[in-house]
């Protein structure tokens, strides 16, 4: 009987039953069950039908060490260094005291297929949290739950964590629960165990189902995640990663972003092995130091972003003032391959504020369009933004060139001041207009005088730190002119977060009020030229 026949005929039903009745904790019983599962895996038998164990890129789990018995006052799902509790009624010396539980940071998601599917590294989060306690003196605990028991309140479950080697899928109801938690300020971290491709492929497919409006993409080295606490724009990998042909030194982390917030993280290479301190050269994994620093950064980023989400309150409600007299001018946001819409309400709120403040009897009408669309030439003003690298194909570049040569205006911004988009925009605009260069607009230009005089602008704390601690700087806009008029205006610093009155805490941009003033001046220039 060959291997596939064995997989069809021998399913070890006793183990399957054990997996289903076992409580999702890190007890000795669950560790014993896990060891049985590993024995099954080592024999080459299926975990379940369609688990991906016979597909290219599958990496079988390695046996993990059982966690040490927890202290009596600590549940098996917690990990922290106990500290004295508040004063209480004196107890006998033989009685053990129970310290207050630190807040939960990670919730490890279980699977109905047993520990082999979700807990092959029992100490991964335990050790990461211990490392965080020692490195940056933060004290958190973890929890272990099935997805159906997870509260959508992000305060109770700040970061969901799922690791594995096999294919997996969630139900429509589970996807809805995850989406609700993440939109409320939470985050999910998905870790491909030993770089196993079936898990990685499933994670990408699930994120696409949960957030069809937001593409999953690889994060560039300038992403705030990689500088949230440590600089991990370059990392160290075990030799097993290099054997796959991946030779880069940058982290391979993919993610989903909505409104400038990273809500889902997918690691192509294993972080859990590094968190456990296991650095075998054959592993498709990060080395321990890099893995732990990535883990610390995820914690710092998630905490800052969750606090930001909770503090945001819509400052204004955009409504199209149809009762105003006067014509309309269209402004179109450019759709391209990549994350072309970083903020969903920014442009609407800027347009509303402009009409409200200036009382100009002309309304802008917002739409979305691709550069390849012939209707582009009927729109006088187009807007483009993003976070990461992008490329225009020949048709898009050619259409944009003709649009600008005919007097159209392109307004672009590097959302959050991100260098990935900035470098790409400068490269692509050189392809579009090879004889012209983006030049900084001088402070005496009308762009900085009407309707708002702009000598200095307040900047975000992140940009202030990059500028040597100064909280105000001269506004910076770059432009390309043809026949005395600007046809391209580009801001290297973030504007749209300020237009929404909610700049991201990691943004390199202008504070809300000044971002709006810069935007109003740009719109006035578009009307008067």
Q: Where are the domains of the chain?
A: 3-81+100-311, 328-528
Q: In sequence order, what E strands does 119-220 have?
A: 141-145, 159-164, 187-192, 217-218
Name the token pair of 54. Answer: 């016979």
| Span 510-520, pLDDT tens digits | 999 999 999 99
| Residue 46 pLDDT | 75
Cα separations in angstroms, 453 against 44, 63, 440: 72, 66, 18
| Residue 64 pLDDT | 55
The domains spanning 3-81+100-311 and 328-528 adopt the same CATH topology: yes
| Interhelix angle 124-136/288-311, nearest 10 degrees | 80
Cα separations in angstroms, 95 against 89, 91, 502: 12, 6, 51
Q: Which fold has domain 3-81+100-311?
A: Rossmann fold (3.40.50)
Element (H, E) at 263: strand 261-267
Instruction: Write down the CATH number for the domain with range 328-528.
Output: 3.40.50.12140
| Residue 72 pLDDT | 37
pLDDT in tens, the chain (529 residues): 344 434 333 333 333 333 333 344 444 444 544 454 554 444 454 788 999 999 999 999 986 555 444 433 333 333 333 333 344 444 444 445 566 678 889 999 999 999 999 999 999 999 999 999 888 888 899 999 999 999 999 888 899 999 999 999 999 999 999 999 999 899 999 999 999 999 999 999 999 999 998 989 999 999 999 999 999 999 999 999 999 999 999 999 999 999 899 999 999 999 999 999 988 889 999 999 999 999 999 999 988 887 777 666 444 444 444 444 445 677 999 999 988 999 988 888 888 888 777 776 666 778 899 999 999 999 999 999 999 999 999 999 999 999 999 999 999 999 999 999 999 999 999 999 999 999 999 999 999 999 999 999 999 999 999 989 999 999 999 999 998 899 999 999 999 999 998 888 899 999 999 999 999 999 998 888 7
Element (H, E) at 523: helix 512-528
């Amino acid at each position: 009987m060959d291997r596939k026949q064995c997989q069809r005929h021998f399913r070890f039903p006793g183990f399957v039953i054990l997996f289903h009745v076992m409580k999702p904790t890190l007890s000795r019983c669950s560790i014993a069950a896990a060891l049985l599962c590993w024995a099954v895996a080592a024999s080459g038998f299926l975990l379940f039908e369609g688990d991906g164990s016979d597909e290219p890129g599958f990496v079988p789990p390695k046996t993990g060490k059982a966690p040490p018995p927890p202290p009596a006052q600590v549940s098996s799902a917690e990990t922290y260094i106990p500290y004295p509790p508040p004063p209480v009624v004196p107890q006998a010396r033989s009685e053990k005291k129970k310290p207050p539980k630190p807040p939960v940071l990670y919730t490890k998601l279980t699977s109905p297929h047993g520990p082999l599917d979700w807990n092959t590294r029992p100490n991964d989060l335990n050790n990461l949290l211990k490392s965080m306690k020692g490195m940056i003196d933060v004290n958190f605990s973890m929890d272990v739950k099935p997805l159906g028991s997870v509260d959508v309140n992000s305060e109770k479950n700040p970061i969901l964590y799922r690791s594995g080697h096999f294919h997996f899928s969630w139900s429509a109801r589970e996807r809805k629960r995850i989406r609700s938690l993440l939109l409320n300020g939470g985050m999910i971290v998905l870790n491909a165990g030993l770089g196993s491709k079936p898990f990685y492929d499933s994670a990408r497919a699930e994120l696409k189902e949960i957030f069809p409006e937001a593409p999953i993409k690889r994060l560039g080295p300038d992403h705030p995640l990689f500088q949230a606490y440590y600089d991990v724009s370059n990392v160290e990998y075990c030799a097993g990663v290099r054997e796959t042909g991946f030779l880069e030194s940058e982290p391979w982390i993919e993610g989903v972003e909505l409104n400038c917030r990273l809500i889902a993280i997918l690691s192509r290479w294993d972080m859990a092995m590094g968190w456990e301190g296991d650095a075998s050269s054959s592993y498709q994994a990060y080395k321990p130091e890099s893995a732990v620093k990535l883990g610390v950064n995820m914690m710092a980023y998630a905490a800052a972003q969750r606090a930001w989400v909770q503090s945001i309150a819509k400052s204004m409600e955009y409504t199209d003032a149809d009762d105003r007299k006067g014509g309309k001018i269209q402004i179109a946001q450019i759709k391209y391959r990549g994350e072309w819409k970083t903020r969903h309400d920014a442009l609407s709120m800027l347009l509303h504020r402009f009409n409200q403040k200036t009382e100009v009897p002309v309304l802008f009408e917002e739409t979305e369009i691709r550069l390849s669309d012939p209707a582009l030439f009927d729109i006088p003003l187009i807007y483009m933004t993003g976070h990461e690298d992008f490329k225009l194909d020949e048709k898009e570049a050619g259409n944009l060139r003709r649009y600008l040569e005919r007097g159209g205006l392109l307004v672009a911004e590097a959302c959050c001041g991100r260098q990935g988009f900035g470098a790409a925009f400068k490269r692509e605009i050189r392809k579009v207009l090879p004889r012209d260069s983006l030049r900084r607009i001088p402070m005496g230009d009308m762009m900085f005088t009407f309707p708002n005089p702009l000598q200095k602008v307040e900047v975000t704390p992140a940009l202030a730190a990059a500028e040597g601690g100064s909280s105000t700087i001269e506004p910076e806009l770059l432009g390309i002119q043809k026949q005395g008029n600007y046809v391209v205006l580009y801001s290297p610093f973030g504007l749209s977060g300020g237009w929404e009155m909610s700049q991201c805490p990691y943004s390199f941009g202008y504070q809300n009020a000044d971002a709006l003033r810069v935007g109003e001046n740009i719109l006035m220039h578009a009307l008067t030229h």
